[in-house]
Structures are given as C-alpha cells and as structure tokens.
Amino acid sequence: MTNCKLLIAGLGGQGVVFLSRLISQAALLAGDNFITYESHGMAMRGGSVTSQVKIGNYRSPLVGLDSADMLLVLAAGEYERNRHFLRPGGTCLANSDQPLADLPQENLVGATAIAVNHNLPKAVNLVFSGWAAQHPAFPYSFELMQEAVKMMAVSPTIETANLKALELGRQMAK
C-alpha cells in the first residue's frame, strides 16, 4: 500500500487538475485508497491553481505545510508560493528551462519547449508526468501512468496524443 502526499502547482489551463486525476486513476488501478482536492471556479481563469493528492488511508484531501512528500511544479513561478508545503527530505520536481531557486538541475525539466516543439502545446502536463514518473520518489510507474492515460482518454485521437506526450517525457529522463 502506497502512502504519499503530493502537491501539484501551476496556472489555470495548464492541466494541473488533469494531472491529479491521472495520478488518482493510477492509484485506483494500483488498488490504493486516495483523496485529492483541486481548485475550481474563479481560480481557474488563468490564476494560480494547486491540486493536492493524498494516497493512503486519509480522510481529508488537504496537505499541510512541511508535510508533502512530493511537490510537482508545472509553472516555475508557482514554486515560491508552494515550496513550504514540502516536508524536509521531500522531493520537488519542476517544469523549468531555467535554474530554479535551490533545486538541483536533475529535478528540473523543460517540458514546455518539448511539448511545443512536438506541436502538443496543451500536453505540457503529460510530458512533465512522463518525465516525473521515472523519479524514484514518484508514487507510480510509467507503465501504470500509461494505463491511466488510456483509461481517461475521451477519444482515440486524444489517447494517441497524450501517450505520445507521456513518452516524450520519459525520453527526457534518459
């Protein structure tokens, strides 16, 4: 049974909510209990958005300060606002083509450029998660994330594009 608290941060429209749903779907496939929380409404209009994912036997989806095992940052500008949620010894992975604060270079990925170059500008979140899934601290395997993408796809076209984006991310980790 996995036990992991994640916080995902980004901007409205970047697919923060989709990414948390993807991880939830993977948790369901793995047979884990989970509870997540996402921003809706006014906040979704391009503003700062976070999603919280707690895998394990939790009742509340809220992640406290100093308690996230993992912080996933889709927009570099959102790191500063959310880094305090990470517990000491936790892992932060961020989408940034520039150095970001004190984060080690191997925890950064330029997923936006890759997505744009492959004409998948809306799939930054998937490129990012394909890359993140290679990290030992990430709760689920790349293969399970692939299964989750397939289960959540609303059309074959979207499934193909999303799987391609996920694979692009995986290649970044090599």
Partner 1 sequence: MQQVMLGNEAMARGLLENGCTFTYAYPGTPSSEILPAFIKQGRDHGITIHGHWSVNEKIALESAFTAAMTGMRSAAVMKQVGLNVAADAFLSSAYLGVTGSLVVISADDPGPNSSQTEQDSRMFAMLAKVAVFDPATPQEASIFAGRALDLSEELGLPVMLRPTATLCHARQNINLAKITKQLRQPEFIRQPQRWAATPKHRFRLHQQLNQKLLELAADPRFDFATQVESGSSSPAPYGIIASGCAWALTADLLNSLPDDETSQFSLYKVDLPYPLHKNAGRELLKRHEKLLVIEESMPVIEYQMGDQKKICGRLDGTIPDAGALTPEIIVSALNRFVKQKPLSANPNSIEAPPGKRPSLCPGCPHRSSFYALKKALPKGIYAGDIGCYTLGINLGALDTCLCMGASISQAGSFYQTFVKDGEDSPPIAAIIGDSTFYHSGIPALINARYEDSRFVLLLLDNSTTAMTGNQPTPAAGLQADGSRGPALELETLLKGCGIEKITIVDPYQQSELIDTIKEAWQYAQAPEGGIAVVIARRGCLMIPAERNLLPALQVTILDDDCTGCGYCLKAFECPALMLKTDDPENRVTIDQITCVGCGQCLDICPHGAIKIRTLT
Query: Which residues are near partner 1 by CB under 8 A?
Result: 11-12, 20-21, 24-25, 27-28, 32-48, 54, 58-67, 77-78, 80-82, 84, 112, 116, 121
Residues 6+ apart with CB under 8 A from 154: none
Least separation, in Å, of the C-beta of 132 and partner 1?
A: 19
- Do residues 83 and 63 lie in contact, with contact meaning Cβ atoms separated by under 8 Å? no
Residue 43 vs 141, nearer CB to partner 1: 43
Residue 62 vs 171, nearer CB to partner 1: 62
- How far is the C-alpha of 71 from the C-alpha of 79, rounded, in Å? 9
- How far is the C-alpha of 11 from the C-alpha of 105, rounded, in Å? 22
Residue 42 vs 174, nearer CB to partner 1: 42
For residue 98, what is the DSSP state? S
- Do residues 19 and 140 lie in contact, with contact meaning Cβ atoms separated by under 8 Å? no
* SS3 state of residue 92: strand
Least separation, in Å, of the C-beta of 174 and partner 1?
A: 25
Least separation, in Å, of the C-beta of 98 and partner 1?
A: 9
Residue 20 vs 162, nearer CB to partner 1: 20
